[in-house]
Amino acid sequence: MFSYWEKDLFMPNYDFIVVGSGFAGLWLAYFLKKKKPGAQIAILERGTLPQGASTKNAGFSCFGSPSELLANVDKIGWQTTLDLTENRFQGIQIIKTFFGNTIDYNPCGASELFFDEEKFEAAHSKMEELNQNIAENVKSYYHFYLDKNIIQNSGFAGFKYAISNNQEASIHPGKLFYSLYKTLISMDVKIFFGTKVTGYNTEGEKVIVKTENLGDFTTSHLSLNTNAFTGDLLPEYKIKPGRGQVLITKPIEGLTFDRTFHFDQGFYYFKNVGNRVLLGGGRNKDLQGESTLDFAVTENIINHLKDILKDNILPGKTFEIEDTWSGIMAFNESKTPISQILKPNLSANVCMNGMGVALAPTLSKKLAEELTSNG
């Protein structure tokens, strides 16, 4: 039951209600408020913190490794792949411009590593075509090159080849969340944590948004930014969850690398975090089992990651694991996000298909522009 004061302050008729406080929802609320400073905006988040991928990820501000981009080209064609790359690139510029000083932004560059001659050749033989297409179609400069020294200089074993770029970077995703959160509070966006949306009705003059614990909210426009958890709210879209498991070691003396690394079409990723190694991925070991909304870590994936640490990333070094966790991503067959107005009073900004750190600011900015284009 709300008091008069609580109702007066927290339960007005909102202009926009955003469901989900991951990067998509936070950036959307930010750009909506920028466009319409007088608008009443609320974010409803079921977790006490974001409870999806945004504060669970590896903190790579990445656009896609060559083998990952080329696999996308095979599936969705050059134009869609390049459009996504451009959107990711622009997203990173937004992050850097707004919060470059507060999120441990490190323009360290990235390398894709290869164990296997055949897979390397498949990527290397198309590297120049990829560079040329990026140069011609992606507004920002982004260039891959064969890197002959990085494997030896980093002390890795087993990896034979590397393709690098100097444009990707590393961030602290928790600090990015917190920077956005503080900014939104200062802009008078109301954020309700621990508030799960259970349904909504868009038929009337106002949208009625039903919550598990705070009753009904009303709004002129409801935007779902619920990524992998969109199924119950928009069942007609076929969005598949993909769990990502991550481990981080305790600090290790003598780590010589400071880049972000990917291998196996982006299924594995690692980087140096304060002389610890963060390593995540391995979903491809059990694609069916990892297609789940359950935030668990499993012995088979974590042991597999530990083996990679021991054999390939830290050969001959002793290490201890400090922490493990998981987050949930969202995928669909078309590998493209759904960021669109579905009805005048309902929109979706979901299904980031991985790499949403970079994608979310651009998609949210465009959606906010569309939603406010009529004054």
User: Given the rule CB under 6 A, which residues bind ligand FAD?
Assistant: 19-25, 44-47, 50-54, 56-60, 62, 196-197, 225-229, 244, 246, 280, 327-329, 352, 354-358, 360
Q: Which residue has the tokens 């007609």?
A: 236
| Residue 292 C-alpha from the chain's centroid | 17
Cβ 67 to ligand FAD shortest distance, Å: 16
Cα–chain center distance at 22? 9
Q: Tell the smallest beta-carbon distance from residue 146 to ligand FAD (Å).
A: 24
Whose CA is closest to 369, among 14, 23, 34, 12? 34
- What DSSP designation does 268 have? E
CB 92 within 8 A of CB 110: no
Q: Which residue is nearest to ligand FAD (CB)?
A: 52
Taking the complex as a whole, how short is the minimal distance between the CB of residue 51 and ligand FAD, in angstroms? 3
Distance CA 266, CA 211 (A): 37
Nearer to ligand FAD, 295 or 319 (CB): 295
State the minimum distance, in angstroms, from the CB of residue 375 to ligand FAD. 27
Q: Considering the complex, what minimum distance in angstroms separates the CB of residue 186 from ligand FAD? A: 21
- Give whichever of 96 and 196 is closer to ligand FAD, judged by the CB atom: 196
Query: Nearer Cβ to ligand FAD, position 62 or 73?
Result: 62
Alpha helices (H) in 223-314, listed in sequence order: 299-308
- Residue whose CB is less far from ligand FAD, 124 or 240: 240
Per the structure block, which two tokens stand in for 29? 């609320």
Q: 3-state SS string over 93-140?
A: HHHHHHHCCCCCCECCCEEEEECCHHHHHHHHCCHHHHHHHHHHHCCC
Q: Please identify, using beta-carbon distances, which residue of 78 and 193 lies nearer to ligand FAD.
A: 193
Minimal distance, residue 255 CB to ligand FAD, in Å:
19
User: Smallest gap, in angstroms, from Cβ of residue 197 to ligand FAD?
Assistant: 4
Q: By the 8 A CB rule, do 268 and 281 touch?
A: yes
Cβ closer to ligand FAD: 66 or 280? 280
Q: Of the two residues 122 and 140, which places its CB atom closer to ligand FAD in the complex?
A: 140
- Report the sign of the C-alpha dihedral through residues 45, 47, 53, 54, in that order: positive
Q: Which residues pair with 277 in a beta bridge?
A: 272
